A and B are shown apart, each in its own frame.
Chain A
């Protein structure tokens, strides 16, 4: 335990020390976070673990520094004469009575600093470089351990990153990391560990392993997210329901709504799985009234406006449906209905090879029409889930704001054809979990399609990363 790397996270009050620990540990329940001064009044620790469970590093969350001015006075008063070096002066200060009363918070921090191997100084870089911050840094340097300033809230519009970097350089602190605890960035995390590595020769090996391990875990996370999306798309693309063609209008509408509900629920399941995967509890979101949890996610999947929002032009499906004379209202424009009805002769060809010919003919003879999810809806589903995955990949575990998942997608992409495995799944009702009676999970070709689609999604995600 004693030879494990121990890093003390320090900073002025309300700069996001606990948030940094939450984000680095991917644990949104660690400590207590609020926009109040002195939320953390105790020293609490966390061990960062490798995948095999081996701990590599201890991070200590400390109370905020609040009165550096006073501490400097106390150091002058109690720290003895100039003959003593920094750590000795700090030790003398810690033994003085004020360390237990007025400067109790600061004393907690300095006590840990004396025992730690390095310190991370968290900076709210929306703040100007005030005198008190410089004073804090000079107190910290008395402890004679490397100090790594971490610029929090760099993603904010009012960030003063450049100003801070310049001022820190003047204080002889040249290793600085920008790492936003709310807007998570995998490379930022990696840089943070790398900077620590350059400061801490003795812990080169564990930090190296930590970096490699985090990268591996990041890959697993992206892969798992892509798998969830691939499964969702394959299931939805293959969804096929038979509806008796001679159903009266009200009944028909009801049936369609039920089918739409099934698709929505499938999306909902996928969203929940993704939240769980990224360790964001829906508990937090219920509180924030995120529409996700309650079944419909912001824009309704089948709402024509939602389609417009994502820049998807209504394709031929609706027109074809209208041509077939199927009585559809606006709510069902998102789906292609009426293909292969007994009367809809012209459109039968559109159906392609969706189900075996024998079955189709049988269906026709018995007056069934087929209900499937339209291409537009599928595309919308894909864009929306991609946006969600992207948002989750960049969400720090300190984020308090509700998850906004509906950024308008790249309009160019919405005109691209659906990925090949999805198009293939259109023709394979047996691949879809939504077709409970004929779903066949053991099919090897389904697994291959899911794997291929997963790879495609991973590539798309990597391209996004490259663009940002």
Chain B
């Protein structure tokens, strides 16, 4: 545990690095962002929170600590804790004086002390309050517990707000209230303060009583109007039980009866004063000290377990900044050095073709019932479709098998396809098989457009691929649309009808 400061209350909460304080700062930051209506942008803090790791809540806390506003809140919190420390010291001082005062009031100038009255003054109120605390803690676990302590807490915060001139104090205090309300932390802090104050009160009373009983001589008497003598005997027996159990002498029945008011003779001064002090010890100081210690343990436990309520508005929106879904691990196998040579210069529009027109279909959308396509004015000889390995082989061997060289080989391609090296290689093998010009005819552009594809860009991609493969011409057509300029051009170039006219 680093730098534990000895404050009168819960040391684990005032420790600068405690989880509770970090969460207070996070909560304050959330409230501040809520007030501003936006997230405070601080990429550096986000990055540090991501680096620090941990679950979402821990990252939120870390981010808050790293932002300038968070640091400001931490300073404010520090200042407020200083204020609270002095206020608590004051409260404990007052409790001590109250105890001393109570003892002084009981053991006044009068040489005769009413035992019943003295016990009621020194123990009565705090026993009633203890009973109240027990009842509230047991039966109303959420709201109950240490009314005095809670009051003190509220007063401390109220005073803190006034005493601290920092503008952030209000936010930090609201955050503290919100955080302390969670998981019983505030309840146990309040209990610890309550019991602590009463313990100090009892200590004061004990010290005062010891002092008064040491330097002055008192006659102890008791009296009752309403009750019987037996009940007083029983009460004394009850109060003296712990002392008796420890072997301390306590007033026996005889002494009790002999001390009744009005009877002459002061008996058992030492016994009575012993009973008084032992009662203060056993019914005042000890239980309160034990309960204060227990409360402190519970405070520590609650502080250890404290987590932010990340379902509060404002936290969810941080999840994406603080918990990235993925992390790049970079390039594993790098980009190759470009090695293909310069593209061959594009050829211009070829001259009109004479001779047979061969047609090959490459990965077309059209079904087999639609093959070969018809185009008015053009007579072509279908060589087949080249969609898979076997078909490509067949097409290539059919081309090789032709004895007379054709006028042109048309490869009908589909624009929805992205040109790939497979297609390029097929073009290249066609070029190898024939001396006739090989053209790519790009069809089915409407379908690409229907998919939302960019037609002109795709045509350019095919032209590039065609050039790389050494094709002689690449043109776009719409075989279903005779009015399309590309279709008209194709008919003009290869159409048998056009050559005759």
Contact = CB atoms under 8 A, between A and B. Distances in A.
A and B together in one complex: yes
A46 B363 contact: no
B335 A441 contact: no
A207 B241 CA distance: 67
B389 A48 contact: no
Interface residues of B, number: 61
Contact of A132 (B56, B363, B458): B363
Nearest to A26: B325
B323 interface: yes
Interface in B311-368: 311, 313-314, 316-317, 319-320, 323-336, 339, 363, 365
B38 A158 contact: no
Contact of A52 (B53, B365, B452): B53
B298 to A, nearest CB: 27
Given A67-B421, A132-B363, A132-B388, A157 B56 contact: no
B369 interface: no
B2 interface: no
B484 interface: no
A343 to B, nearest CB: 36
Contacts of A454: 313
B319 A51 contact: yes
9 contacts: A26-B325, A35-B457, A42-B332, A42-B333, A45-B328, A135-B389, A158-B450, A220-B320, A227-B316
Cβ-closest 3 pairs across A and B = A131-B388, A25-B326, A43-B333
A58 interface: yes
Nearest to A27: B326
Contacts of B110: none
B488 interface: no
Given A51-B323, A158-B450, A37 B420 contact: yes
Contacts of A27: 325-326, 328
B387 A130 contact: yes
Nearest to B34: A441
A67 B425 contact: yes
Interface string B36-52: 01110000000000100
A69 B418 contact: no
B53 to A, nearest CB: 5
A25 B325 CA distance: 6
B4 interface: no
Given A66-B421, A132-B363, A72 B336 contact: no
Contact of B451 (A52, A126, A128): A126
A397 to B, nearest CB: 10
A208 interface: no
A248 interface: no
A132 B50 CA distance: 44
A333 B250 CA distance: 91
A131 B326 contact: no
A48 B326 contact: yes
Given A48-B325, A227-B314, A41 B336 contact: yes
A47 B329 contact: yes
Contacts of B34: 441
Interface stretch (A104-112, A319-327, A364-372): A104-112
A53 B319 contact: no
A113 B232 CA distance: 94
Contact of B37 (A42, A135, A220, A269): A269
Nearest to B58: A52
B461 interface: yes
A58 B329 contact: yes
A198 B332 CA distance: 28
A267 interface: no
Interface in A194-236: 214, 217, 220-221, 223-224, 227-228, 230-231, 235
B416 interface: yes
Nearest to B426: A69
Contact of A53 (B37, B314, B323, B418): B323
Contacts of A278: 320
B50 A53 contact: yes
Given A41-B335, A224-B319, A442-B174, 9 more contacts: A26-B326, A35-B418, A35-B454, A55-B327, A66-B420, A67-B421, A104-B336, A158-B451, A227-B313
Nearest to A447: B313
Interface in A126-169: 126-128, 130-132, 134-135, 156-158
B453 interface: yes
